[in-house]
Structure 1
């Protein structure tokens, strides 16, 4: 890791203080990811505390994703208008403010507002993090650097549920945010002192029509899928159909406009690079699998097996830690051997594990769940960072902001689609089970119905992984042209 961190001379000849820059980015990124997953464990608790339905509480995740879906596409533009320092300080300040409001929140509405403010911080931080890495590391060291980011980004969601479970058991859900706050303040202070400006300020023309269609497009699609996942009226409701139609039409207009513009807001010409397309698809598929699995697995553990939030968190801890540890290792292997020998076996493992998960019942042992979850995380670590780094490596330097913006935007859309489909498939499965039950009012049927729905959700995730496996056969190692990186 130290060798990776000291490699901060890009071919431009500029020397970067890599370690302080990375610490600032990684600390704030870690806490952002931690509070994202820690809250998942608290959802069952929040339903009771605020007297709300599961469909309503889902908006804490949906609202967060919706904000990211709207703001991340604009991030490529922001990276070319504001310095790295300005964006970093703004991002972490929003995260601090959102976390403070959440820690104080007396009502669901206040907590919802806090999540949106937090999401603004994350939307600025994610593309900034990847763009900075592409600039300060030469291509042959990027796999290891992305692996270090993967370590942080994956360990945070792993420890999040466990720490959250402990806090909910001993204190209250507010402490999830009180715990995050000092670390964010430290990251902010660190950034103010050490963050360097690495990106070039070109100040391209701001096209308000592009921003409008991007917001309507990505926002409409994320909102449509998320509303469908609420399960009240499902996919046939007017709200879902109208928002999806608006989203799809707006995205088509947005894409046509970007391709015709001299200085587009999001340069879609990045899609002319075939490995960038494959890498983006891999990230999209991984995000769908991870978010749909991470949503239904805690539900199965808590409501299906009757575990406490803390025990559920502990069951999911080994898998997350293994993923974090594997990430830098996979990054190093990618630098050495390229993506193909990691991505294809990784997706085979993911598909196989999801097939086993689709057979879990209320009689399944915790040891089986831990082993399966750990294997799933190993598979994901073999796919995500190698495919993402390989894709971004094919872009010339001037397309870095657009490439990171495209990948991060589609991650949020994938998250919304994966979550919505998993919830609606799970709800439909549970409802069907109850319709066939002799006595639907018998409380013993509730965990069985939930498990039946969750099995269907895992079959859906397995189908997504198999589609990914087919795409993976087209992946090739990118030969980086040094002249291209300037």
Structure 2
């Protein structure tokens, strides 16, 4: 964009609209964690089924992010933001009045459609409206919002559910989303370049949906369905992804640019980011179940117990970005994963009598480790790419973070379901609660294993100093 037209828009106002809009949409990734036990009771569903409210939201993000990259080049900033917030509002309103789990799941997918557009559009717009010397501060704000919003979600929902039902969680965000839409209609300016002749590659969209969706569904049903059925779905997903990659490599302008993975540093950084997302989503799914179902505490109690971790997450995210400019991403990634593994170990030995201060302390330490990885490792990967591949790298690392995180979370929930059910059926424990705790223990063993792989990926990187992240968590 030329300098002559930069004064035609209010940069601070556009920044405010995007930050608030993105905060409220990303908040919905984790806002149902604390409410999941009550939703399970209302609709008579298992934890494996209930986790689809989060998994489907993340999955829809992952599938739609590549499409959003195309939409940004075809439609104006204002048009896309209006569509994004409208979709989010419709999904939120539908979730509020949903009469069944199926309707609630559909509502979550509609919400995710709007969120995926908002998230990627914000990153692209900020890269345009801020000069190079100010992008660091801008991306620091983005990192704070995208780190703090998912972390604060369980706490906010806990406060609401202490007085009302889970439906009021959606009523809480609805007026904020409407306000963002009104501000967009009045103040949003078009800042991205548009090429209306671009045509969407529907074949790639279908292959992406089959590939990522097949893998996720196969892993998700592994805990409750036959092994053969789950394996078949995983095979279908693998075939879809293989065809998508082959098609992309043959195309001059693919929907997903897999050539970014020619960079060894980008591959390792993407792995580190995906694993860190799994390490945060797994515990955020399990701990509210433990606190409410095992400890017999309220949703508000659950939210308050997780609140210190959310605060630590936001603070460390800001600090980590500044440290990255000095020492690079490798050392932050290594230390972050060591901290994650060390802080998760106490949860492996957790039982029904575990003191609450242990949960508060080690959960906060775990989120501190996550914050040392998310933004710095994203930056590390993008810094390894040439300038003309930055946009493709941003879309790719966001896509794999969402989809990989969804698959990893589904895998951890499957572990919980299988272990707890086996312990209960075999009579290993006298009470169902003890069997559930046993399943949760194994989930955290899985988190430690993931953290070890993340540590290997981070330590394999060369230390490099670079620009502040062009992407975000």
1:330 maps to 2:320: yes
Q: Distance in 2 between matches of 1:13 and 1:400?
A: 24
The residue number in structure 2 matching 1:5 is none
Q: Distance in 2 between matches of 1:301 and 1:309?
A: 8
Q: Distance in 1 between matches of 2:177 and 2:45?
A: 30
1:296 maps to 2:298: no
1:464 maps to 2:450: yes
Pick closer, same or farther for the CA change 1:397–1:194 going to 2, 3 Å.
farther
Q: Secondary structure of the residue that 1:362 maps to in structure 2?
A: coil
CA contact (8 A) 1:355 1:458 kept: yes
Report how far residue 66 of structure 1 moved: 3.1
CA contact (8 A) 2:266 2:381 kept: yes
Pick closer, same or farther for the CA change 1:464–1:54 going to 2, 3 Å.
closer
1:314 maps to 2:304: yes
Q: Distance in 1 between matches of 2:303 and 2:399?
A: 28
TM-score normalised to the size of structure 1? 0.89
Aligned length: 464
Aligned with residue 178 of structure 1, among 158, 171, 182: 171
The residue number in structure 2 matching 1:483 is none
CA RMSD of aligned residues (A): 2.4
Aligned with residue 35 of structure 1, among 28, 33, 49: 28
Pick closer, same or farther for the CA change 1:11–1:247 going to 2, 3 Å.
farther
1:94 maps to 2:87: yes
Q: Distance in 2 between matches of 1:217 and 1:12?
A: 44
Q: Secondary structure of the residue that 1:39 maps to in structure 2?
A: coil
**Deviations 1:326-352, CA, capped at 9 Å, x for gaps:** 212211222343223322211111111
Q: Distance in 2 between matches of 1:357 and 1:260?
A: 47
CA contact (8 A) 2:325 2:466 kept: no
Q: Distance in 1 between matches of 2:282 and 2:16?
A: 30
The residue number in structure 2 matching 1:210 is 204
**Deviations 1:228-286, CA, capped at 9 Å, x for gaps:** 3xx2226x041x22221111111111111111112212222222333322321121111
CA contact (8 A) 1:10 1:137 kept: no
Q: Distance in 1 between matches of 2:154 and 2:401?
A: 21
Q: Distance in 1 between matches of 2:5 and 2:319?
A: 28
TM-score normalised to the size of structure 2? 0.91
The residue number in structure 2 matching 1:84 is 77
The residue number in structure 2 matching 1:21 is 14
Q: Distance in 1 between matches of 2:463 and 2:4?
A: 27
1:227 maps to 2:214: no
Q: Secondary structure of the residue that 2:333 maps to in structure 1?
A: helix
CA contact (8 A) 2:420 2:435 kept: yes
The residue number in structure 2 matching 1:399 is 389
CA contact (8 A) 1:71 1:120 kept: yes
Q: Secondary structure of the residue that 1:30 maps to in structure 2?
A: helix
Q: Secondary structure of the residue that 2:33 maps to in structure 1?
A: helix
Q: Which runs of 5+ in 2 are unaligned?
A: 468-473
The residue number in structure 1 matching 2:246 is 256
Report how far residue 116 of structure 1 moved: 1.5
**Deviations 1:14-67, CA, capped at 9 Å, x for gaps:** 567432222112111211122332212112112222233333323322332332
Report how far residue 472 of structure 1 moved: 0.8
CA contact (8 A) 2:325 2:465 kept: no
Pick closer, same or farther for the CA change 1:68–1:304 going to 2, 3 Å.
same
Report how far residue 12 of structure 1 moved: 11
Q: Distance in 2 between matches of 1:279 and 1:138?
A: 26
The residue number in structure 1 matching 2:471 is none
Q: Secondary structure of the residue that 1:38 maps to in structure 2?
A: coil
**Deviations 1:350-381, CA, capped at 9 Å, x for gaps:** 11112222122212111111000110011111
Q: Distance in 1 between matches of 2:181 and 2:108?
A: 19
CA contact (8 A) 1:74 1:405 kept: no
The residue number in structure 2 matching 1:447 is 433
CA contact (8 A) 1:214 1:250 kept: yes
Q: Distance in 1 between matches of 2:15 and 2:39?
A: 35
CA contact (8 A) 2:89 2:177 kept: yes
Aligned with residue 379 of structure 1, among 350, 366, 369: 369
CA contact (8 A) 2:327 2:463 kept: no
Q: Which runs of 5+ in 1 are unaligned?
A: 1-8, 481-486
Moved more, 10-19 or 256-265: 10-19
Report how far residue 319 of structure 1 moved: 0.2
